Structure 1
């Protein structure tokens, strides 16, 4: 499962990042526009001043004519004095340049250099931009402080908004938690406004109503099945027992015994399915135990009709007694599916049921199964490649019973042919 932050934290972080990004973008844009506009203004001013100075000297060639500019340092050279231009300045063409140089005190200073060149004059105008750079640094510090303030403000607003936004959700979660702990359900929708949380509360109320109705109908169905189905089965079992005890022809007696086995199997299956539907595990709490060996013999006897006239030998090997804390009906249903499948799919050879060491193993010489299909056969509706009739529910029921009681069931191919099914009981609920 991927880690996700709490919704409230995500709201705070999102709002804080949004505020930080917005103020940082504003600060960067302000710095960029200030630098760009200032640079354009200075460049235009420098070019205009140097051009004005050259024009002044053209009109006033006398050395005594003074052109005073307080903010600039200007050097101008006539056509016959171009050789006097400092070597470092000769490389610059007309335009404005950013340069750094040391002043008379040995301090490094930043300048703007405006260059004017014509056939008559070369002029160089320098403007000290140190004050502007200092101003830019101060502006950067101020904007950093503004960003920090906006960041803190965004965090506070985000925290306040998260509390307001998440308050109904937290209230809904608290009411659901209280219902889960106490089991006392009350409608949720009346406690919330007609917004998204209110819609969620109404949806939860509707779902709870439908779930309660479903559980009630399931409980009523279980009670009806428990009463209405067990009663006729008990009547059939009693009547069959009386008829078997009476004087009947052998053929009729065999048929009555077959009915008796079918009734017993139906009763056991009904009990097991009711336990599954209720998720009820009967056993150690009520002291109910079952001798597995005796159940195996009964299950083998009940499923013998599946063999018919096939040349199949059935043997039951009791290596040691096993007593399990579970109803006999549950064990009979689980073993009935495993043994019944072995009887159905084995056309010739033998079926061996081994009881002992906390488990029951059913080995047969049938067509066998593929190793890759062994686990898939326990899925609902899946049948093996051996064919045969059925809905593929028997092994799924066995797996559900094992999950309910903590047992393990497995299928595997035998090296010598056929398959082996193993029902392993929980050591804590079985013993000799």
Structure 2
């Protein structure tokens, strides 16, 4: 059975159940003991009174009558002392007899074949029992309430170091290289062992993140040189007037791919850094400027495919400036994705007050794959081109890094809508 309660709640419940078991056993023991002792005392008292009655019967001295709450009967007794039929079946000893709404304690003796019965009203005894039961019940409830309260205090004290450790582990600075170890802050107990385990795990995570950042940074840095060579070569080739139209188009395509690769390398390099760049030290662009730059690159490929490029600009379009590399990467990847998966219809870019929309009339994305489309190496059902399915993953990663949000929704009758909400630094 799987418990849904928190660990603190389990401690309180366990403490309350244990206290209820102990208090309940103690209460039942008290009730049983008192009941047994009182029964023994009543039995002894009735036995003494019955012996007194037998003595009076033997000397024929009836000047002493039974107590007001007692009834005395015997076989063949005169008048009211004659043994009733409902008592003739009782065996010798102590009994409890019910006569209508009343209950009696009865003591039976058989002497020389004659049966003697002494009844005593037990109303007082029942009242004392009810008082006892009420006291025990109140004590049980108070003990249970006290157990819950003490369990709550105990759970808070026991869970305090665990909660503090969880907060420290969740803190984003804990993965930084200079983050202090956790174990020295805790005693050498189970929580301390847990802190040691977290230190070891976090240490391995820091090393893995450091290796990833160094690899990404080194690769991005090393790729700049060959990209610069390719770009320069393309510029020189384009200056050659001897190129025919087909060759020039191919060189322009290579130049455009080099520029895209350079932007991608710059994006990876910036994502690999531990801290965000200072806004004053990073190139900045407004949404309109980024759109103008990207449309100059993508208008020709889009229109050459027979698609209609629609650009909408709201009057209150954002005038905030954003990280140029990241903004161009997000908008450019969404436009590229729309071009790859749209064969006819349109591609629309809408600039809004808090971000932008990229819409298309392409093949769309099935509902069951929409949530996974932002994961690495996930592609649509109609896989086209030579991409690895990293474009949307990169968009998601940049948005998380910058505090932006990106949402995917379907278009009717087909197509996709990507909505990006930008947050100013």
Q: Is the 2:71–2:120 contact (alpha carbons within 8 Å) kept by the matching residues of 1?
A: no
- How many pairs were matched up? 405
Q: Give the Cα–Cα distance (whole angstroms) in 2 for the partners of residues 248 and 395 of structure 1.
A: 40
Q: Which of residues 370, 395, 398 in structure 2 aligns to 1:398?
A: 395
The gaps in structure 1 that reach 5 residues or longer are 102-108
Q: Give the Cα–Cα distance (whole angstroms) in 1 for the partners of residues 164 and 156 of structure 2.
A: 11
Closer/same/farther in 2, CA of residues 19 and 420 from structure 1, 3 Å limit: closer
Q: Give the Cα–Cα distance (whole angstroms) in 1 for the partners of residues 195 and 348 of structure 2.
A: 56
Closer/same/farther in 2, CA of residues 215 and 129 from structure 1, 3 Å limit: same
Higher mean Cα deviation, 115-124 or 209-218?
Answer: 115-124
Q: Give the Cα–Cα distance (whole angstroms) in 2 for the partners of residues 176 and 320 of structure 1.
A: 44
Corresponding residue for 1:104? none
Summarize the alignment of residues 22-101 of structure 1 with structure 2, pairs less than 5 Å apart. 22-36=22-36, 38-39=38-39, 42-43=42-43, 60=58, 63=60, 75-77=72-74, 79=76, 81=77, 84-85=79-80, 90-95=85-90, 96-98=95-97
Corresponding residue for 1:125? 118
Closer/same/farther in 2, CA of residues 26 and 292 from structure 1, 3 Å limit: same
Q: What are the Cα deviations for residues 325-378 of structure 1, in whole angstroms up to 9, with x where unaligned? A: 23454344334434334433444x4544455555454444x4x33674684473
Corresponding residue for 1:236? 230
- SS of 1:187 mapped into structure 2: coil
Closer/same/farther in 2, CA of residues 25 and 185 from structure 1, 3 Å limit: same
Give the CA deviation at 1:203.
0.5
- SS of 1:85 mapped into structure 2: helix
Give the CA deviation at 1:235.
2.8
Closer/same/farther in 2, CA of residues 87 and 185 from structure 1, 3 Å limit: farther
Q: Give the Cα–Cα distance (whole angstroms) in 2 for the partners of residues 49 and 135 of structure 1.
A: 22
Alignment RMSD (CA, Å): 5.4
Closer/same/farther in 2, CA of residues 320 and 64 from structure 1, 3 Å limit: closer
Q: What are the Cα deviations for residues 154-202 of structure 1, in whole angstroms up to 9, with x where unaligned? A: 7998799778856765785798799969x86443435655431221121
Q: Is the 1:292–1:331 contact (alpha carbons within 8 Å) kept by the matching residues of 2?
A: yes
Closer/same/farther in 2, CA of residues 214 and 87 from structure 1, 3 Å limit: farther
Corresponding residue for 2:339? 343
- The structure with the largest alpha-carbon Rg is 1
Q: Which of residues 285, 303, 306 in structure 2 aligns to 1:289?
A: 285
- SS of 2:195 mapped into structure 1: helix
Q: Give the Cα–Cα distance (whole angstroms) in 2 for the partners of residues 413 and 12 of structure 1.
A: 52
Closer/same/farther in 2, CA of residues 258 and 156 from structure 1, 3 Å limit: closer
Q: Is the 1:73–1:126 contact (alpha carbons within 8 Å) kept by the matching residues of 2?
A: yes
Corresponding residue for 1:298? 296
Q: Is the 1:78–1:122 contact (alpha carbons within 8 Å) kept by the matching residues of 2?
A: yes
Corresponding residue for 2:382? 386
Closer/same/farther in 2, CA of residues 350 and 137 from structure 1, 3 Å limit: closer
- SS of 1:379 mapped into structure 2: coil
Corresponding residue for 1:260? 255
- SS of 1:31 mapped into structure 2: helix
Q: Which of residues 183, 195, 199 in structure 1 aligns to 2:193?
A: 199
Closer/same/farther in 2, CA of residues 374 and 185 from structure 1, 3 Å limit: closer
Q: Which of residues 87, 91, 114 in structure 1 aligns to 2:107?
A: 114
TM-score (norm 2): 0.68
Give the CA deviation at 1:31.
1.6
Closer/same/farther in 2, CA of residues 217 and 399 from structure 1, 3 Å limit: closer
Closer/same/farther in 2, CA of residues 303 and 332 from structure 1, 3 Å limit: farther
Q: What are the Cα deviations for residues 377-402 of structure 1, in whole angstroms up to 9, with x where unaligned? A: 73324433434354433233334444
